[in-house]
Homo-oligomer: A and B are copies of this chain.
Amino acid sequence: MKYFDSKRKEFTKLIKKLQIKITGAIEKADGEAEFQIDNWKREKFGFGSTRIIENGKVFEKGGVNISAVLGPLPEALQQSLDEENSDFFASGISLVLHPQNPYVPSVHANYRYFELFSKDSSEIKDQWFGGGADLTPYYLFKEDAVHFHQIHKTICDLTHPAFYPRFKKACDEYFFNHHRNEARGIGGIFFDHVRANEDTSAQDLCEFAYNAGLGFIDAYIPIVNLRKDINYNQQNRDWQEIRRGRYVEFNLIHDRGTLFGLKTKGRIESILMSLPPHVQWRYNHKPKPGSKEQQMLDHLKEVDWLNLQNN
C-alpha cells in the first residue's frame, strides 16, 4: 500500500498566507480600493474567505478566494473518478482580476490540493495537486507575455525541469474556447492531477504550489504598473468588453473549476466572482485587418513565448 502524507493542514495554511500576501500586493498596485471580506462556513466541514475588490483605480473587479471543503464525493464526481466509497477534501486559492484599463491584461491563478480518503478516515486513497496561472491581454505587448512565462518557468524549474514545458502546453490546451477555435489568452501554466512520485514528493508539490502562487505577484504586478497609465478611448474599452465576453464563454461553457463549483453546490457568488464587471456581445464583431485588435487575435494560439524565433 502506498503511503500518503496528508497535506490538508499544511496546504490550507499556505493558501491563507498566499491570500494575505496577494491581496496586499494588489491593494498596493491599485492605490485606492480595499478588498471586502466575506467569510463563510458550510454545513459539516467547509469554510472559505472570499475577498473582492470592486471599482478600484486600477482594478474594476476581482477576487482572491480561498476555500477548504470536506465531505462525501458529489455524485457527478463519483462517476468521473470511479470512486463511490470515498470522502474528499479539497482546498485551494483562486484569483481573477479584471482591470479598468484595456491595456492591462486580465489574469487568473488557482492552486489546489485534493485528497480522497476512506469514509472511516483510516486511509488516504489518493492525493493530487492542481493549478496554474494564465494571462488574458486585450492588446498585445510581447514583452509582457515573455515576462509572465519567464517567471513561471523559473519557478517550475526549481522543482522539476519537465514542469514548465508540460504545464505550458497543458495551459494552451486547457484555456481554449473550442467553440471559437481560439485561446482565451496568451497562456501560462496549467496542471491537474499531479501526484507525488520518485522525483517529486507531496512536500515538493506543496511547496511548488506555494511558490507559484507567490510568483503570481512577480509575474503580474510589474505588467500592471507598466500599462495602467496608458491613455485609452471608448473604442479600446469596447474591444476590452467584447473580449471579456469570450472570458465569460470560457468560464461558463468549458471551465472545469466553475463546473466543479456548481456541481458541489459551492457558494455561487464566490464561484462567479470570476465574471467581468462590464461585458458586451456584438453580432459577428471582427476587428479591422492589420489593427492592434487583430494583432491580439492572431496570437491567441500556441506561441512559444520564450523562444519567439521558433514561431
- Give residues in A with beta carbon < 8 Å to B: 38, 52, 54, 61, 63, 179-180, 241, 245, 248-249, 252-253, 262, 268-269, 272-273, 275-284
Contacts and interface: CB of A to CB of B under 8 A. Distances in A.
A283 B253 contact: no
A281 B283 contact: no
Given A38-B284, A61-B283, A277-B280, 7 more contacts: A54-B282, A63-B283, A179-B268, A245-B275, A252-B253, A278-B278, A278-B279
A68 B252 CA distance: 27
Contacts of A38: 284
A180 B268 contact: yes
Pick the 7 closest A-B CB pairs, nearest first: A252-B252, A275-B281, A269-B284, A279-B279, A52-B283, A179-B262, A252-B253
Contacts of A284: 38, 52, 269
30 contacts: A38-B284, A52-B283, A52-B284, A54-B283, A61-B281, A61-B282, A61-B283, A63-B283, A179-B262, A179-B268, A241-B278, A245-B275, A245-B279, A248-B279, A249-B272, A252-B252, A252-B253, A253-B253, A253-B262, A269-B283, A269-B284, A272-B281, A273-B283, A275-B281, A277-B281, A278-B278, A278-B279, A278-B280, A279-B279, A279-B281
Contacts of A241: 278
The majority secondary structure among interface residues of chain A is mixed
Contacts of A179: 262, 268
B253 A248 contact: no
Number of copies: 2
- Quick one: which of A63, A279, A280 has the most chain B CB within 10 A? A279
Nearest to A278: B280
A97 to B, nearest CB: 13
Contacts of A52: 283-284
